[in-house]
């Protein structure tokens, strides 16, 4: 089978690796001059940065992402370190205590801060424990493929489901109002929705505990729950997530796969309802048995495929989905160690408790200039090789509108970078006077890197009742992967989506299509 893959982001590289490993011919078409997209590691004069605060789940022992890397025989090239992060709000912060105080230390600290919600916190954490166990059993069943053979875990899942089923159909807003009276306490758990530019009123309630796993805030919390079920752990990739990109590219190329960089696909050729190949910007036609596209759903299906080749239901699905917003990012090389002031490599600093208002403001094109919140990430803290000796690599990053209302990102990039650095300097004194290197990345830059008309940081906003476009498309021989597909965003998710597409549709595609 001959496969053409559009895009060399994580999902494209994973599915290409599965395909070459099973003996298929693969061509990857990448519009940039480098592989990896937003999972590439960028560098300048000895400094290296990831394009994001990549504290990742799924990369621990026998976790899904690491299992994929094992199956692709590249796991030995990837070194991980388990870490955690901090949270800071206008009135208080949540850093792990110096001495370990157990897996629920955050609950106990929040009781001291919000005594009126003591009972609500106890009740919320019972819901949290149920969701964690439900999720852990589901992962175990998925990995062991015991869905039909082992009935006890399924029975246990049913019992847990009965206890919490009324909450599962709620919004995040309903969940928070049910458990907590204080809006500041609600923001502790909904603030992460800023990453999705989602309102708590539209975000599904089960996503709250799943987005606030306690192991992300203290690496000392044991991952084992009970009966060998596990919490997810959170990890950095030593040397940057680009190490995964390098390992997968080497595997693909050494297996006679072809990576074409600087080659933009302008059309997917459809004949008789079937994908036949792609047309490049230089008018070169590449034929294929299957085409696997990653990237933006609207760009792929409306621009490359054309609505005339799609069903009305598929078009409506794509058009009805709300895209997330983008990011404004400043990458710095500085002359001192910022961990003198910040206790871990990553901290989220929130300047507002109004998550809904901040999300709506961003969607309307209004940029907060860092005042609503940002994060500071120090990759050289866990990977000293990402900065010259005696220096540190720092990323300051915040959610930002894809396009500004009545302004242009190009005209304001330097000003906004200075403003963001000024906000960060409140927490890391001396930042601006010790800058050796600086790279500014605006939403416009991310649009170019990703070839998106609307750069959506993590794909579509997770909205109750909405589902992303499936991997299996209405066009025979055309498959869709990546953050805007059914897998949703996040490195582990897109890796799992690529594996699912290979296993469910492509592993025996050539035989099935001729049967």
Q: Is the pLDDT of residue 510 over 70?
A: no
Question: Strands 258-261 and 326-334: what pairing?
Answer: unpaired
- Phi-psi region at 337: left, alpha or beta (left = phi > 0; alpha = psi -120 to 50): beta
Residue range 416-474, pLDDT digits in tens: 999 999 999 999 999 999 999 999 999 999 999 999 999 999 999 999 989 999 999 99
pLDDT band at residue 508 under the 50/70/90 scheme = confident
Residue range 176-189, pLDDT digits in tens: 999 999 999 999 99
Nearest 5°: phi and psi at 47? -100, 145
Give residue 487's pLDDT.
95
Question: H or E stretch including 66?
Answer: helix 64-71
Q: In what order do the strands lie in the sheet with 234-237?
A: 56-57, 234-237, 80-82
Give residue 515's pLDDT.
42
Whole-angstrom distance, CA of residue 1 vs CA of residue 23: 8
Residue range 224-240, pLDDT digits in tens: 887 778 889 999 999 99
Strands of 17-153 (E only): list them. Answer: 25-30, 41-44, 47-50, 56-57, 80-82, 86-88, 93-94
CB atoms closer than 10 angstroms to residue 91: 8
Give residue 136's pLDDT.
87
As given in the structure block, the two tokens for residue 328 are 């404004």
Residue range 373-420, pLDDT digits in tens: 999 999 999 999 999 999 999 999 999 999 999 999 999 999 999 999
pLDDT band at residue 511 under the 50/70/90 scheme = low
Residue range 243-287, pLDDT digits in tens: 999 999 999 999 999 999 999 999 999 999 999 999 999 999 999
Whole-angstrom distance, CA of residue 299 vs CA of residue 452: 7
Question: Strands 25-30 and 258-261: what pairing?
Answer: parallel
Nearest 5°: phi and psi at 330? -120, 120
Whole-angstrom distance, CA of residue 11 vs CA of residue 13: 6
Nearest to 496 by CA among 487, 509, 504, 505: 487
Question: What Å distances lie between residue 49 and 145, 327, 395, 396, CA to CA?
Answer: 37, 15, 7, 11
Question: What Å distances lie between residue 173 and 122, 169, 207, 374, 457, CA to CA?
Answer: 18, 12, 11, 22, 23
Residue range 130-186, pLDDT digits in tens: 999 988 888 877 776 645 556 667 777 788 888 888 999 999 999 999 999 999 999
Domain ranges of the chain: 2-44+240-322+460-514, 103-229, 326-450
CATH superfamily of 2-44+240-322+460-514: FAD/NAD(P)-binding domain (3.50.50.60)
Give residue 149's pLDDT.
56
Comparing 60-69, 146-155, 242-251, 335-344, the range with the smallest average pLDDT is 146-155
């Amino acid at each position: 089978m001959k496969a053409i893959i559009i895009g060399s982001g994580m999902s494209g590289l994973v599915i290409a690796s599965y395909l070459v490993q099973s003996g298929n011919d693969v061509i990857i078409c990448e519009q940039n001059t480098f592989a990896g997209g937003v999972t590439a590691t960028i560098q300048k004069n000895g400094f290296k940065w990831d394009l994001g605060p990549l504290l990742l789940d799924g990369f621990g022992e026998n976790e899904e992402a690491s299992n994929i890397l094992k199956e692709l025989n590249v796991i030995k090239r990837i070194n991980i370190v388990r870490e955690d992060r901090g949270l800071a709000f206008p009135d208080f912060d949540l850093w792990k205590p110096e001495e370990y105080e157990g897996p629920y230390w955050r609950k106990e600290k929040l009781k001291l801060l919000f005594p009126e919600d003591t009972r609500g916190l106890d009740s919320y954490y019972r819901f949290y424990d149920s969701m964690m166990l439900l999720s852990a059993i589901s992962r175990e069943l998925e990995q062991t493929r015991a869905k039909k053979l082992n009935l006890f875990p399924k029975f246990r899942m049913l019992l847990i489901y009965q206890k919490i089923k009324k909450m599962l159909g709620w919004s995040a807003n309903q969940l928070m109002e049910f458990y907590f009276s204080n809006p500041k306490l609600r923001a502790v758990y909904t603030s992460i929705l800023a990453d999705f530019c989602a309102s708590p009123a539209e975000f599904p309630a089960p996503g709250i505990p799943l987005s606030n796993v306690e192991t992300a805030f203290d690496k000392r919390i044991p991952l084992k729950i009970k009966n060998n079920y596990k919490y997810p752990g959170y990890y950095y990739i030593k040397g940057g997530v680009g190490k995964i990109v390098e390992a997968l590219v080497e595997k693909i190329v050494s297996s006679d796969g072809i990576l074409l960089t600087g080659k933009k696909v302008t059309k997917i050729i459809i004949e008789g309802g079937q994908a036949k190949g792609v047309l490049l910007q230089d008018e070169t036609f590449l034929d294929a048995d299957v085409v696997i596209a990653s990237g933006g759903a609207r760009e792929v299906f409306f621009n490359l495929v054309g609505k005339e080749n799609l069903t009305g239901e598929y078009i409506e699905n794509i058009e009805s989905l709300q895209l997330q917003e983008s990011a404004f990012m400043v990458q710095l090389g500085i002359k001192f160690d910022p961990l003198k002031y910040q206790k871990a490599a990553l901290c989220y600093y929130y300047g507002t408790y109004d998550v809904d208002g901040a999300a709506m403001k961003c969607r309307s094109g209004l940029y907060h200039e860092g005042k609503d919140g940002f994060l500071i990430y120090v990759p050289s803290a866990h990977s000293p090789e990402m900065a010259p000796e005696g220096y540190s690599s720092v990323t300051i990053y915040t959610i930002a509108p894809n396009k500004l209302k009545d302004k242009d990102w190009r005209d304001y990039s330097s000003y906004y970078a200075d403003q963001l650095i000024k906000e960060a300097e409140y927490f890391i004194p001396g930042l601006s006077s010790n800058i050796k290197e600086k790279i500014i990345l605006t939403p416009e830059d991310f649009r170019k890197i990703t070839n998106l008309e609307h750069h959506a940081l993590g794909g579509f906003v997770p909205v109750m009742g909405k589902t992303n476009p499936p991997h299996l498309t209405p066009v025979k021989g055309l498959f869709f992967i990546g953050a805007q597909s059914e897998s949703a965003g996040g490195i582990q998710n897109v890796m799992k989506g690529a594996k699912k597409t290979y296993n469910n549709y492509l592993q025996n595609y050539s035989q099935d299509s001729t049967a």
